[in-house]
Structures are given as C-alpha cells and as structure tokens.
C-alpha cells in the first residue's frame, strides 16, 4: 500500500464519493459511526483510523487502498506487472528495450505519486545504464531511487545504494565504493536490521572492490558471511550473484575446483531464471578460473562465449573487460599479434573514468607483449600508464606486480635508481594491502 494521504485530502475524497453515490452522511455512517463523525472527517479535522476507512470503503464500494491513497489497487497491480516485464527484458540482455519500458513506467508512477514504483523504475534504469556502460547516468538514477525512499528503512534502500556503489566501482573509485558498502553494512548490523537479502547483496558487492584494493582478508571474510547468509535468502538471482562473487576469493586462495563449482551453481540458477547478462558473466569468470589453472584452450572457449553474449547485448563496458582477459589467454597461447590488436580496440572503449582497472590491465598486457618483442620504449610507456591508472583508482592488489615488471625493465636498461624507486613503490603496496585505505571493518551480523 502507498503512503496514506493527509486527512484533508481523504475527507474531500470521501465527500466526493458519497455525493456521487447519493448517500447522506447518516447512511454512510450507520451502523458503526455517527453523522457528526462523518461531517468532521469530511472537513479534514480528524485522521480516520484503518477500521474507519475499511468501513467507509465498504459502504462506498471502493478498495481500502483507493480510499486511503487515491490509487486504485488495479492501477498499482498493473504497474507492478509491467515493472516485472521490464525486469525480464533486462534479464534477457535487452538493455535498450528495457530502458524504454522503465522510462514509460517512471512517468506513470510519477503522475500517480507512487514512490515505491518510481524507485523500482529508477533502479531498473540504473541497471540498464550500468550494462551499457553509462556510469554517470546510472549513478544519477540510483541517487534518485534512494531519494524516493528517503523515509523508508535502510533494507529497502540497499538496492539503490548498492547500485550507486557499483557505478563508482566500475568508474575506478574503489575507496568510495567500499565506503558506501561498509557504511551500510555497519548501520544494518549495529542497528539490528539483519535483513538477509540486503546483507547478502552488500557483502557480495564488496568482494570485487576488496580484491582490487588488495584487501584479500576482508574479501575472504565477506565471502564467508555471504555463504552463511545464502540459505536465508529467498531470491535465487541474489544467491547466484553471491556465488559468482565468492568465486573470486576462492581463486585468490588457489581453491580453483571450489571456485568452478560455485560458478557452475550460479550459471545453473541464471539459466533457470533466463538472466542472460549474468550468465555471460559466469562464462567470463569460468574462463578466468581455467586460465589460472593453465587450461588455456578451455579458457578461450569460455571467454569467447562470454564476449559473444555481451557484445550481442551491447554491454560495452563488460565486453571490454572480458576482451582484456581473452587477450591475456591469446598471448599465453602464442598469438600475441591477435592479442595486441584486441587490446588496442579495447582501449578505445575504456577510460580512467570508465573501467580504470581493466584499462590498466590492458596497458600492462600491452607492455608485456612489447617487452617480449624487445620494444622497450613502448613497454615502459604502457607500464607507466597502467601505474597511473591503478594509483588513481587505489587498486593496490595489482600495483605491486606492476611495479615489479616496471622495475625489472628499468634495471635491464641500466636505470638502477629508477628501478629501485619502482621496487620501493611496489613494496609499499605489498606490505599491508588494503590497510592504508580501509578503516575498521564493519560490524558483523549475528550468524
């Protein structure tokens, strides 16, 4: 039910409906209330109770919601059904078509003053924008969705808050993404708001930025808490997303078979739900797992499958990220020229504000390929660009390895002092990964 209107609005609505139906105040009041009460109510001088509204709704032949809010139950139900259809369209990977549906639904919800439906339409538009790589627009939609629910409990606002955090993460603003997620987790857990779906969504979303920042201990802890919360969730899509996120920590710990099992569970859930873009992301992650395990032919198959699915759905940002992983596999299979061409194409779609971490990964790999081909100046240029991108994003997880590559190159070319500077920078990030950018860990749920 929407938020109830003020007494004056309700009173005028009761009077209009009573007059339309030819009823006197006495006929409307009997047998429970008095004509004087109806007169006071119609003048807006009393706030009717739920029982009074139910009585009046029954006498006037309208639904309780319609009398309390002015919105017919049928209108709200039809809007909810059409929101579900838009969500299904997005799940099938048709982001542009889904955005059109959500835009129309948003306009209707605004016309009728339906805050919850406005928020859901804005959430959908935000998810569409993330898929097509329009991060600024996506963040704005999520902010508007939060504003619609400003007075709602935190669990209801978590999907919009999480969407905003993901937009910042994809833009390379890792610290701020973690701050948003951890602040919400802390508020939920300290406030006793142990909503399993809200907590699961936040923990699963925190794993990616934790890993990129080098905060592997926090990522592992978030993964453990997400796995413990999963049985309490009634949302299979949320559980699938959790399994996909947890796989990253399992890979980092060398538990490749367990990571592949988690991804298989996620893929099975996504197939059943017909969520195509997330299924593509599962293929992407499985390709990464196979690459880590040295199964390069299988890795290439999975990554090409993911790339084909994402490209067909114009998920430009995600497809660029998959292409970087595929280029790494191609290079390791001895097809460096093909990998180099793919990476140069990728860099045309990524910037420091849009996919900074993967843009850095593309430059790092181009540096390795150039170094193998004895193009030392090109290699150094790519390493330096990658270093700048990672430092700006705060991605400590990859900085130490990049500093080692740059230091080795500088040392081989006789620039010992510069090499030492690069090594020192790398050691600084390796010493305590993540601790320089993260405050105290958020409170934990009572599991």
Over residues 392-428, the pLDDT tens digits come to 887 776 788 888 899 999 999 999 999 899 888 877 7
- Mean pLDDT over all residues of the chain? 87
Over residues 104-126, the pLDDT tens digits come to 999 988 887 788 889 999 999 99
Which phi and psi angles does 351 have, rounded to 5°? Answer: -140, 180
Over residues 215-236, the pLDDT tens digits come to 888 888 999 999 999 898 888 9
- Say yes or no to pLDDT of 101 above 80: yes
Q: What is the pTM of this model?
A: 0.76
So what's the pLDDT on residue 314? 67
Q: Which of 58, 51, 52 is nearest to 11 (CA)?
A: 52
Choose between 399 and 84: higher pLDDT: 84
- 34-58 average pLDDT score: 90
- Burial degree of 31 (CB within 10 A; 0-12, 13-18, 19+): exposed
DSSP string of 133-200? T-HHHHHHHHHHHHHHTTTS-HHHHHHHHHHHHHHHHHTT-HHHHHHHHHHHHHHHHHTT---HHHHH
Q: How far, CA to CA in Å, does 8 sit from each of 65, 255, 266?
A: 16, 64, 52
pLDDT band per the 50, 70, 90 thresholds, residue 435:
very low
Over residues 275-316, the pLDDT tens digits come to 888 888 889 889 989 998 899 999 999 999 999 988 876 667
Q: Which of 143, 207, 238 is nearest to 135 (CA)?
A: 143
- Say yes or no to pLDDT of 430 above 70: no
């Amino acid at each position: 039910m929407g938020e109830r209107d003020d007494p004056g609005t309700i009173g005028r609505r009761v009077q209009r409906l009573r007059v339309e139906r030819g009823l006197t105040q006495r006929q409307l009041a009997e047998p429970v209330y008095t004509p004087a009460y109806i007169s006071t109510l119609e003048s807006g001088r009393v706030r009717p109770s739920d029982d009074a509204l139910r009585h009046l709704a029954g006498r006037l032949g309208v639904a309780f919601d319609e009398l309390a809010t002015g919105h017919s139950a049928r209108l709200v139900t039809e809007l909810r059904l059409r929101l579900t259809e838009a969500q299904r369209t997005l799940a099938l990977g048709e982001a542009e078509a889904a955005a059109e549906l959500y835009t129309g639904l948003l306009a209707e919800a605004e016309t009728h003053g339906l805050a919850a439906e406005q928020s859901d339409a804005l959430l959908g538009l935000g998810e569409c924008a993330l898929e097509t790589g329009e991060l600024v627009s996506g963040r704005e939609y999520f902010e508007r969705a939060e504003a619609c629910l400003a007075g709602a409990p935190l669990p209801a606002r978590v999907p919009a808050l999480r969407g905003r955090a993901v937009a910042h993460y994809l833009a390379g603003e890792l610290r701020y993404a973690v701050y948003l997620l951890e602040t919400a987790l802390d508020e939920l857990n300290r406030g006793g708001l142990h909503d399993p779906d809200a907590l699961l969504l936040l923990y699963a979303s925190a794993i990616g930025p934790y890993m990129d920042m080098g905060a592997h201990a926090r990522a592992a802890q978030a993964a453990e808490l997400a796995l413990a919360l999963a049985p309490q969730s009634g949302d299979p899509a949320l559980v699938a997303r959790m399994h996909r996120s947890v796989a990253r920590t399992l890979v980092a710990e060398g538990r490749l078979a367990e990571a592949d099992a988690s991804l298989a569970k996620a893929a099975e859930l996504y197939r059943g739900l017909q969520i195509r873009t997330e299924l593509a992301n599962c293929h992407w992650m499985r390709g990464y797992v196979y690459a880590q395990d040295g199964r390069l032919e299988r890795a290439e198959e999975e990554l090409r499958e993911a790339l084909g699915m994402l490209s067909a759905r114009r998920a430009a940002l995600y497809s660029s990220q998959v292409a970087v992983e595929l280029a790494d596999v191609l290079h390791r299979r001895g097809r460096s020229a093909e990998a180099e061409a793919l990476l140069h194409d990728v860099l045309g779609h990524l910037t420091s504000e849009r996919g900074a971490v993967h843009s850095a990964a593309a430059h790092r790999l181009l540096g390795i390929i150039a170094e193998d081909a004895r193009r030392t100046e090109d290699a150094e240029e790519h390493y330096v660009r990658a270093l700048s991108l990672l430092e700006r994003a705060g991605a400590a997880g990859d900085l130490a390895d990049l500093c080692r590559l740059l230091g080795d190159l500088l040392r081989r070319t006789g620039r010992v002092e510069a090499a030492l500077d690069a090594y020192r920078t790398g050691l600084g990030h390796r010493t305590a990964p993540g601790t320089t950018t993260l405050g105290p860990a958020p409170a934990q749920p009572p599991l």
